[in-house]
Chains A and B, each alone.
Chain A
Amino acid sequence: DGGITQSPKYLFRKEGQNVTLSCEQNLNHDAMYWYRQDPGQGLRLIYYSQIVNDFQKGDIAEGYSVSREKKESFPLTVTSAQKNPTAFYLCASAEGVGQPQHFGDGTRLSIL
């Protein structure tokens, strides 16, 4: 079955540590996205990628980094510069930018 897989489902970060969230899709989609959702809030765009080896900052990119070395994969690193990383992180993909997005099941990140 085609879809988007995020891992891990739960992740804990120690202070000063970088952590990487995985996002893999087998839908052959060109565009991929990362969103952050805080409790009771909407989604805010962190980064997006229209094509392999290219990505753009979203509205809240500070403290995060991404790479897009393969079409199927768009990992997100939460760096130690992100002082308030506790949130639910959602990855999505679409055939192209502006097209309907398909979402993964999310990763819940907490601070130890």
Chain B
Amino acid sequence: ELKVEQNPLFLSMQEGKNYTIYCNYSTTSDRLYWYRQDPGKSLESLFVLLSNGAVKQEGRLMASLDTKARLSTLHITAAVHDLSATYFCYTGTASKLTFGTGTRLQVTL
């Protein structure tokens, strides 16, 4: 059974700081997605990673995938308050995808 764990589960960081969220998964995966969820809202797609070594960047967020280590990272550069949200990774194969536990990010002034 595919298990997807994120850490940390909760992250409080100051504006302007850098930090990385980790997504570890337990079995073979050939795709990984990152989503953002604002409180009480739906999920918004951030990144699609489809191959080992894939790196995608959008603004202050950069996502990468290492399929050999079964690890994806979401790096936040110079955080701003607007990035406060919960971030989910979602991974697996075409027949079975599983959401990670989520990381709640709070950016403080």
Residues of A whose CB lies within 8 Å of any CB of B are: 40-44, 88, 90, 92, 96-98, 100-106
CB within 8 Å for A42 and B97 given contacts A102-B45, A105-B42:
no
Please measure, in the bound complex, the distance between the C-alpha atom of A104 and the C-alpha atom of B41, giving whole angstroms. 9
A-B contact number at CB 8 A: 40
Distance between B39 CB and nearest chain A CB, rounded to angstroms: 10
Residue of A nearest to B44 (CB): A103
- Chain B residues contacting A90 (CB-CB under 8 Å) are 42-43
Residues of B whose CB lies within 8 Å of any CB of A are: 31, 33, 40-45, 48, 88, 90, 92-95, 97, 99-102, 104
- Chain A residues contacting B97 (CB-CB under 8 Å) are 98
Please measure, in the bound complex, the distance between the C-alpha atom of A40 and the C-alpha atom of B104, giving whole angstroms. 9
- Taking A92-B43, A102-B45, A105-B41 as given, write out 6 further A-B residue pairs in contact, using a Cβ cutoff of 8 Å, ordered by the A residue number: A42-B102, A90-B42, A96-B94, A98-B31, A98-B92, A101-B45
CB within 8 Å for A100 and B101 given contacts A105-B41, A106-B42:
no
Kindly identify which residue among A41, A98, A105 contacts B93, using a CB–CB cutoff of 8 Å. A98
Taking a contact as CB atoms under 8 Å apart, the answer to whether B94 and A97 are in contact is yes
Taking a contact as CB atoms under 8 Å apart, the answer to whether A42 and B100 are in contact is yes
Distance between B18 CB and nearest chain A CB, rounded to angstroms: 25
Please measure, in the bound complex, the distance between the C-alpha atom of A105 and the C-alpha atom of B44, giving whole angstroms. 10
9 smallest A-B Cβ distances: which pairs? A98-B94, A103-B43, A103-B42, A43-B99, A42-B99, A105-B42, A42-B102, A42-B101, A106-B42
Kindly identify which residue among B48, B88, B94, B104 contacts A100, using a CB–CB cutoff of 8 Å. B48
Residue of B nearest to A4 (CB): B42
Please measure, in the bound complex, the distance between the C-alpha atom of A74 and the C-alpha atom of B88, giving whole angstroms. 24
- Chain B residues contacting A88 (CB-CB under 8 Å) are 40
Taking a contact as CB atoms under 8 Å apart, the answer to whether A100 and B102 are in contact is no
Taking a contact as CB atoms under 8 Å apart, the answer to whether A43 and B88 are in contact is yes
Please measure, in the bound complex, the distance between the C-alpha atom of A106 and the C-alpha atom of B43, giving whole angstroms. 9
Please measure, in the bound complex, the distance between the C-alpha atom of A106 and the C-alpha atom of B44, giving whole angstroms. 12
Taking a contact as CB atoms under 8 Å apart, the answer to whether A97 and B42 are in contact is no
Kindly identify which residue among A92, A98, A103, A106 contacts B95, using a CB–CB cutoff of 8 Å. A98
